[in-house]
Amino acid sequence: MASLGRLLTATRGRGKLDWTDWASYLYLGLGTLLMLGPVLWLALSSLKSPSGLIEFPPTLLPQEQVRAAVPNYPNPLPLYRITKGDHAGQTLAEVRKIGLQATMVDPAAPETLIRVPIDDRSKIMRLHAAWDNYTDLLKKFDFGRYLWNSVFITTVATIITLLLNSMAAFALSKYKFAGREPVFLMMLATLMIPPTIILVPNYLIAAVLGLTDNPWGVIWPAVATPTGVFLLRQYMLTLPDDLLEAARMDNASEWRIYWRIVLPLSKPALAVLAIFSVMWRWNEFLWPMVVLGRNETFTLPLALNSFQGELTTQWNYLLAMTVVTLVPVTVIFALLQRHITQGIASAGVK
């Protein structure tokens, strides 16, 4: 924390801010605003009520219109502050609105009806966080099952992806055999094939194997990724061959060399691939939508889509669930971010 503070307060000038310091702070501040501004807006909007989401002009903080209980009226009425006319400065409650005129009453004297042009008044607002957007997800929707499906698919797929990709990368980087380079080039060439091209063949294979409407149908088709093999292979090329030869001289098996030497030394690259894999699996929408048909097998992205209907969209629940889906990826990134730069830089050495 101290080193971070010194980094943020470092200057090029001696005892004062140089113009380059001002330019750097301006650039960093603008970049932070552009990257985190939409996320902050999303998080605050998820705490707004349905009526607050359609307010114009929109506000950054979650607000709601103040309501008051008025005698002779069964429901609380919205309050307005009159800005023009004979009743300027008064706080009145709206009974009904027809066209450009509103019928209002004074909460202290509800017997008298007052007609006020709608342009001569302003809403009385207050800060209010609609935490019901989050609690209702657990009460009204099967959110726990959707969350478990996403966590299970993401965790298992990431573990299998790291295992299979690291095995392939180990073979392509440390073993010399006929056709090694053509195999590697053919594997990279698959990156040029759009996923939609192989969508139907993948579904037919999953259907034959009985993997439809099953989480394993989402996991298996994408556990071997050319990007992951390329990233790990480039990193493993930097590992000294003498270290592996010394292990072989000590009668270590190839599996022991892979498991006890290569994998621990490849932690930075594995961390980068783990982050990529979590992002891919957690946010994947098209393939789960194709292979999963039953509601109880849906992942969070599919559940998000269910809040959007043909005629109405439950924006408050949609935004709240979107924030929830961002949390796991953010946590994984925060835990592994120190390996990202090292892993990507090392993967491009050779």
- Do 153 and 299 meet the contact criterion of CB atoms below 8 Å apart? yes
- Do 298 and 112 meet the contact criterion of CB atoms below 8 Å apart? no
Q: What gap in Å lies between CA 286 and CA 137, rounded to an integer?
A: 23
Quick one: pLDDT at residue 325? 82
| 242 token code pair | 């003498």
Quick one: pLDDT at residue 327? 83
Quick one: pLDDT at residue 59? 83
- Do 45 and 319 meet the contact criterion of CB atoms below 8 Å apart? yes
Quick one: pLDDT at residue 257? 92
Strand 67-68 with 101-106, pairing: unpaired
Q: What gap in Å lies between CA 315 and CA 50, rounded to an integer?
A: 7
Burial of 46 (0-12, 13-18, 19+ CB in 10 A): buried
- The C-alpha torsion from 297 through 299 and 300 to 303, rounded to 10°, is -50
Q: What gap in Å lies between CA 265 and CA 262, rounded to an integer?
A: 5
Quick one: pLDDT at residue 296? 86
Question: Crossing angle for the helix pair 19-45 and 315-347, nearest 10 degrees?
Answer: 140
Task: Write out the chain's pLDDT in tens, 350 residues.
Answer: 445 556 556 666 566 667 777 888 888 889 888 888 888 988 899 888 887 888 777 888 888 888 888 888 888 999 999 888 888 888 889 988 888 888 898 888 888 888 888 888 988 888 888 888 888 877 777 778 888 999 999 999 999 999 999 999 999 999 988 888 998 899 889 888 888 888 899 899 999 988 888 899 999 988 888 999 998 998 899 889 898 999 999 898 999 999 999 999 998 889 888 888 988 888 888 899 999 888 888 888 888 777 766 556 778 888 888 888 888 878 877 776 666 665 555 544 44
Q: What gap in Å lies between CA 280 and CA 158, rounded to an integer?
A: 9
Element of type H or E holding 20: helix 19-45
- Do 167 and 258 meet the contact criterion of CB atoms below 8 Å apart? yes
Q: What gap in Å lies between CA 167 and CA 292, rounded to an integer?
A: 30
| Cα distance between the two ends of the chain | 35
Quick one: pLDDT at residue 350? 43
Q: What gap in Å lies between CA 251 and CA 290, rounded to an integer?
A: 49
- Do 260 and 112 meet the contact criterion of CB atoms below 8 Å apart? no
- Do 231 and 273 meet the contact criterion of CB atoms below 8 Å apart? yes
Please give the C-alpha separations between residue 40 and each of 36, 46, 272, in angstroms, as whole numbers. Answer: 6, 10, 26
Q: What gap in Å lies between CA 326 and CA 147, rounded to an integer?
A: 12
Quick one: pLDDT at residue 208? 92
Please give the C-alpha separations between residue 246 and each of 85, 237, 242, 331, in angstroms, as whole numbers. Answer: 93, 17, 6, 39
Quick one: pLDDT at residue 195? 83
DSSP symbol at 116: E
| Residue of 190, 274, 193 whose CA lies nearest to 228 | 274
Burial of 349 (0-12, 13-18, 19+ CB in 10 A): exposed
